[in-house]
Amino acid sequence: MNLTERFLKYASFDTQSDEASTTTPSSRGQRILAEEIANELRGTGMQDITLDDNGYLMATLPSNSPEEIPVIGFIAHLDTSPDMSGKGVAPRIVKYSGGDIMLSPPSAAGPVENPAILSPDVFPELNKYIGQEIIVTDGSTLLGADDKAGIAAIVSAMQYLCENPEVKHGAVRIAFTPDEEIGRGADRFDVERFGCRWAYTVDGGEVGELEYENFNAAVARVTFKGLNVHPGTAKGKMRNAGLMAAEFAALMPEEMRPERTEGYEGFYHLVDISGNVEEATLTYLIREHDRARFEACKELLRTLCGRMSAGRPGSVAVHIKDQYYNMSEVIKQNMHAVRIASEAMEAIGITPVVKPIRGGTDGARLSFMGLPCPNLFAGGHNFHSRYEYLPVRSLELCKQTIIKIIELL
């Protein structure tokens, strides 16, 4: 099958990860997709194909070169985001001629009442793809280009190299991991068994993206304890935890909300608010590229909690857990990996776009586990939403970049 067919096939698997699950992988669909990919790899000439009990799939492209070439790897993740359903994905290929794309097709009962529309007025990047084929959703699910585009490009690149032995290369390792979207993708990754000098996660966005910096990340849960009595006799007695939570949220710096930041600017992201008079909880994601500023962000949260506790002892508690760190601390000691990827892109006519990730990848944690992992583009846009789309040409360029990196070693 060709590259586009392979992606469409993978997109049909429901692999949405589940943060509430205690298993690995967190959803059965990830395992089913991994088994399907393993079967494909067996038919390509790949070797050492292993799928462990936790859903980590690894395989080897054997060296066909007499030279000593470092073993490198390529990694993508099996799951799709819990932010939007990945069940029953119905992709279609559109030859884009500009303007709006109606994602929600009319039903037998007539036009859809509130159709999903992919519009360049909202997503101006669409204008880059006029005249090209793009893969879109039907407006009811995400597409799954994050990261099934990465998987498809890696598998297709390996198939190409197996079928074209005249292209000399060293040994290459590939891995497909579960549960990246819920922050567990590196939890049980066996770096020693993978056996690479460095690797690339293929989990980025549009063509040319090459990333080796990401946020330092933490999650903070601020809990407020109240005192509930009948409101008719509450004077001087009631402490409303819900109101304390609202007061705390108002103290947080407005300029550090995600919708007001870009580039290297960090943020506090209020992702969940729950509670009542007795107890209320705010959950924040803390993100900052600079480690010192990251620590200062956490300290500010603790300071505000202390301020809220003044005069109300025991009413406020905060728990902060670090999630991952900026991989640039590791990659800057291994910049050859970035240089080779940049040269590979330039060799096939792509201008590298080196920029920080305003998020994280498996590569961030893997880098600190001893496997430096810059991130390559996979070609998609608008991840985690019904507006996700994937230009066919971008997917092909992802595959070509992987092949060229291997050739240049």
**Enzyme catalytic residues:** 79, 180
User: What is the rounded distance in angstroms from the CA atom of residue 18 to the CA atom of residue 284?
Assistant: 19
**CA dist 74 to 139, 153, 387, 408, Å?**
31, 10, 27, 15
Structure tokens belonging to residue 65: 């070169």
User: What is the rounded distance in angstroms from the CA atom of residue 279 to the CA atom of residue 274?
Assistant: 9
What SS3 class is residue 157?
A: helix
Q: Give the DSSP letter string of 279-326.
A: EEEEEEEEEESSHHHHHHHHHHHHHHHHHHHTTSTTSEEEEEEEEE--
User: What is the rounded distance in angstroms from the CA atom of residue 406 to the CA atom of residue 200?
Assistant: 11
- Please say whether the beta carbons of 275 and 281 come within 8 A: yes
Beta bridge partners of 272: 283
What SS3 class is residue 215?
A: coil
User: What is the rounded distance in angstroms from the CA atom of residue 208 to the CA atom of residue 256?
Assistant: 28
User: What is the rounded distance in angstroms from the CA atom of residue 150 to the CA atom of residue 362?
Assistant: 13
